[in-house]
Every structure is written in C-alpha cells, then in structure tokens.
C-alpha cells in the first residue's frame, strides 16, 4: 500500500495522512492507472447523481481539475506556452519552465477544457467516460515517465531514474479492466488506441522542440490524453 498511498498523495489532494516516501512510488510508477481508477471513480460517482448532462459534464471537469490539485493542468499551460514560443530550443525550454503563464498556455488550456467538456456532454454515459478517460490519461504519464528522456533535473528525471522498460507493459495490463466497462467494443478499442497514440505523439513533439521530457510535458499528456480519449469515444456512434 505504501507505493499506492505515495502515488495518490502525488496525484490528488485527498487527505491521506502523513506524507509517504516518494521513492516508494518512483520505484513503482507503473501504478499510475490506479490513480486513474480512484480519481475517475470519485468524480464519476458525483456526476452520476446529476441528471442534466451539461451540468454533469461541467461538474465533472471541475472535479477532475480540483481533485488533482490542478497540478497536471499547470503542466498543460506551460506546455502551451512552450509550443507557441518562437525561437530556438533554449527559448522554448525557458517558456516551458517559466512560472508565468502566457497567451499560448491560456489558449491550450481553454481548448483542451472545451474538448473535454464537449466529449463528456456527448458521451451518452458520463460516468463511464470519466473513468475510462482518467485511467487512459494516467497510462500516458506512465508511458512518458519510462520513454521520455529528461532534458533537465526535476520530478520527471527522478521518476525516470527508477523506471524500467517493462513498466508501460504493466501499466497497460492495469488498464485492461476498462474492457469490462459496459460501453461498445468500438469505444473501448478507440480509448486504448488513443491512450497510446497521444503520449507517443507528445513524446515526438517534445523531443523535437525541447530535446526531451520534463514533468510539465507529462502533466500536459494527462490532460490532453483524457480529453482526446473522451472525445474520441463520443464521436463513435
């Protein structure tokens, strides 16, 4: 339980007692999808009681952001600034690691939030969409933690140091219970495909723009993958 408690203390604002040794999670970062089941399950439970799909989608978006302490959303904003920055690699890295939020970050944050909200509203079953989207989002972080070469010291480099090449395989296995969720086979297949494609695309973009990965890119992957997976399922009739 120590690695799981450390994981949840890192990814949520849940009151889980005294801080756990972060290294216990770093050595088991393949457990990321477990946090997806917890966060997604809690938010889905709240949304399930709301009959109006528009209100339920709005509450779900707010719940996902606040339950995670907006940590990954902050990474999304930084990533948006870096992608929109003009100049060489050094200038983009400065934009990525700068604490100030610019127009690029605001624009990407709004865009991904709108995509997430629209996907939830059109999903047909917000409860299942939340759980699937959140678990897939956490898989993307696990994949980037292992595959993303750090370009500077930070949380990502610390997690990457303890990761092993087989970690994403274990994370993928932890996502397989999603196949038991009562939505169409096409939607489940689309979710699994998109949860792999999104972090791979972000990995390629980050290698080209920054020369590697940091915690902001991993956080951005969480937000982008969740929104893309939920929208992708919603678009399948």
Residue 229 confidence (pLDDT): 97
Task: Quote the pLDDT of residue 99.
Answer: 79
Distance CA 178, CA 136 (A): 9
Residue with tokens 């120590």: 2
Decide if 7 contacts 148 (C-beta within 8 A): no
In the prediction, which pLDDT does 97 show?
85
Given this model, what pLDDT does residue 87 score? Answer: 82
Q: Of 105, 130, 134, whose CA–CA distance to 223 is shortest?
A: 134
Cα–Cα distance between 147 and 163 in angstroms, integer?
A: 9
Rounded to whole angstroms, the maximal C-alpha distance in the chain is 50
Q: Is the pLDDT of residue 173 over 80?
A: yes
3-state helix, strand, coil in the chain (%, to 5): 75, 0, 20
Apex 193 CA angle, 53 and 68, nearest 5: 50
Residue 237 has pLDDT above 80, yes or no: no
pTM confidence score: 0.94
* Banded pLDDT at 89 (limits 50, 70, 90): confident
Q: What is the pLDDT of residues 50-67, one digit of tens each?
A: 999 999 999 999 999 999
For 102-147, the pLDDT digits (tens) are 889 999 999 999 999 999 999 989 999 999 999 999 999 999 999 9
- Whole-number pLDDT of residue 88: 85
User: What is the percentage of the chain residues whose pLDDT exceeds 70?
Assistant: 100
**Residue scoring higher pLDDT (97 or 202):** 202
**Mean confidence (pLDDT) of the chain:** 93
Which of these ranges, 59-73, 91-105, 153-167, 199-213, has the smallest mean pLDDT? 91-105
């Amino acid at each position: 339980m120590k690695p799981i408690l450390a994981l949840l203390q890192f990814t949520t604002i849940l009151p889980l007692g005294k801080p756990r040794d972060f290294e216990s999670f770093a050595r088991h970062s393949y457990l990321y999808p477990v946090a997806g089941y917890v966060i997604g399950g809690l938010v889905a439970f709240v949304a399930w009681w709301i009959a109006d799909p528009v209100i339920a989608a709005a509450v779900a978006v707010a719940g996902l952001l606040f339950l995670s302490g907006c940590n990954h959303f902050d990474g999304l904003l930084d990533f948006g600034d870096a992608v929109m920055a003009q100049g060489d690699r050094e200038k983009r890295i400065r934009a990525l690691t700068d604490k100030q939020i610019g127009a690029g970050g605001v624009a990407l944050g709004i865009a991904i939030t709108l995509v997430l909200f629209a996907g939830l509203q059109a999903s047909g079953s917000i409860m299942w969409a939340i759980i699937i989207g959140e678990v897939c989002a956490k898989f993307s972080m696990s994949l980037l933690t292992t595959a993303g070469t750090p370009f500077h010291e930070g949380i990502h480099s610390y997690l990457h140091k303890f990761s092993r090449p087989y970690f994403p395989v274990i994370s993928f296995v932890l996502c397989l219970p999603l196949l038991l969720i009562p939505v169409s086979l096409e939607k489940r297949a689309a979710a699994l495909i998109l949860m792999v494609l999104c972090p791979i695309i972000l990995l390629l973009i980050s290698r080209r723009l920054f020369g590697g990965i940091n915690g902001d890119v991993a956080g951005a992957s969480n937000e982008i993958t969740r929104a893309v997976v939920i929208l992708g399922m919603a678009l399948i009739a």
